[in-house]
Amino acid sequence: MKACLVHDDFCQLGGAERLFEEIAKIYPEAPIYTSLVNWSKIPIPINPDRIHTSFIQKIPYAAKLYKILLPFYPLAFESFDFSGFDLVISSTTRFAKSIVTKPSTVHISYVNSIPRFLYNQDQKDQYLPTILRFILKPYFSWLKRWDKTASSRVDFYVANSQNIAAQIKNVYGREAEVVYPAVDTDFFQNSRKTKKSGYYLVVSRLVKWKKIDIAIEACQQLGVNLKIVGKGPDVSRLNKLSGKGIEFIDNATSEELKGLYQNAKALIVTQEEDFGISMVEALACGTGIIAYGLGGSREIVVDGKSGVFFSNQAPKSLKDAINRHSKLKWESTACRKSALRFSRATFRKNLTSAVSKYAVPNH
């Protein structure tokens, strides 16, 4: 079958892009269609010559203004012509699933997340500046209706977690098979030479809805050190909240990140994750998790064995979890073993199995 791949955009290099990188490796000959590209944000293994962009790419400064260009995205994905393909695999957190295909073409959509800014008020409030949200309020109402309608164009859904499968069922009324994302468990490993240092770790984009301020306040009240790895628009506010013992690291290399995971007492996760790749990376390095107990963390962490949960997104609840974590004995080998469920080999096997099941010509 002649196949192609579709991705929302390449405007930031995050978990969705690393996941797409793995899909692109499985289908190395498949061309890639996307709305917009910042050419410095393409995963290194992907050949740029494979990528076909929409008309949005021609808009001046589009790669920097991609959020403001939100009204153009539905048209961008609907403008692609996939009539020459038997199989299209889209990977999406937003609108790549909305492509239009002919009845003879099989469209399988791998969903990392449904559009948060349409279905989660906190994240909608932070997606665009207040004035733009006000101006675009009627558009957002239309976009939500359009997104639900466009979701019916997908032939088969694959979700990155039970959590997202439930959201697809609840919002779109569709069933989804679960194929957990790939994590490079060969690279992220625990080290026998490693001795846990006196700090806790956060690895996240620095945006307000991630609620990293909870970790800062809790660690400061407990008098423990916290290292925060990541970039984002919330960095100035978080810096102002931070005092002694809080360190921001905005440009860690892969090797540095691995070392930070290996040496941390625990990875702290304050947000409700759709899945949570950083949790798997930490576990693969033999480090346990302290996580808010909703969403993807429930599918990764076993309470008392590979981490502990806290129930309220508040400093006191997190402080209690940190204290509980410090009193338990942790086995780094057990943490790593739990991460191996999410290896690249397992992802490749499960995704190709799902695709072969659904990708039947003239379905």
For 303-342, the pLDDT digits (tens) are 999 999 999 999 999 999 999 999 988 888 899 999 999 9
State what percent of residues in the chain have pLDDT above 70: 95
Indicate whether 150 belongs to any domain.
yes
Number of domains in the chain: 2
Cα distance between residue 181 and residue 109, in whole Å: 14
Domain of 273 in residue numbering reads as: 199-342
- Taking CA atoms, 84 is separated from 92, 106, 119, 187, 248, in Å, by 22, 12, 34, 38, 48
Count Cα atoms within 13 angstroms, Cβ side, for 300: 40
Q: pLDDT category, 127, cuts 50, 70, 90? A: low
The per-residue pLDDT for 158 is 97
Q: CATH code at 325?
A: 3.40.50.2000
Specify whether 152 is located in the same domain as 206: no
Indicate whether 189 belongs to any domain.
no
The per-residue pLDDT for 64 is 85
pLDDT reading at 139 higher than 70:
yes
pLDDT reading at 251 higher than 90:
no
Specify whether 269 is located in the same domain as 137: no
pLDDT reading at 130 higher than 90:
no
Specify whether 207 is located in the same domain as 158: no
Specify whether 169 is located in the same domain as 22: yes
Q: pLDDT tens digit string along 200-238?
A: 999 998 988 899 999 999 999 999 999 999 988 899 999
Indicate whether 194 belongs to any domain.
no
Specify whether 157 is located in the same domain as 10: yes
Query: What mean pLDDT do residues 279-285 have?
Result: 96
Which tokens belong to 123?
A: 């994240």
Q: Counting every residue, how long is the chain?
A: 363
Is 38 or 131 the better-scoring residue by pLDDT? Answer: 38
Q: pLDDT category, 362, cuts 50, 70, 90? A: low
Q: pLDDT category, 149, cuts 50, 70, 90? A: very high
Q: pLDDT category, 193, cuts 50, 70, 90? A: low
Specify whether 155 is located in the same domain as 232: no
Specify whether 305 is located in the same domain as 212: yes
Specify whether 263 is located in the same domain as 332: yes
pLDDT reading at 290 higher than 90:
yes
Q: In what order do the strands lie in the sheet with 32-34?
A: 51-53, 32-34, 3-7, 87-92, 106-111, 156-159, 176-178
Q: CATH code at 102?
A: 3.40.50
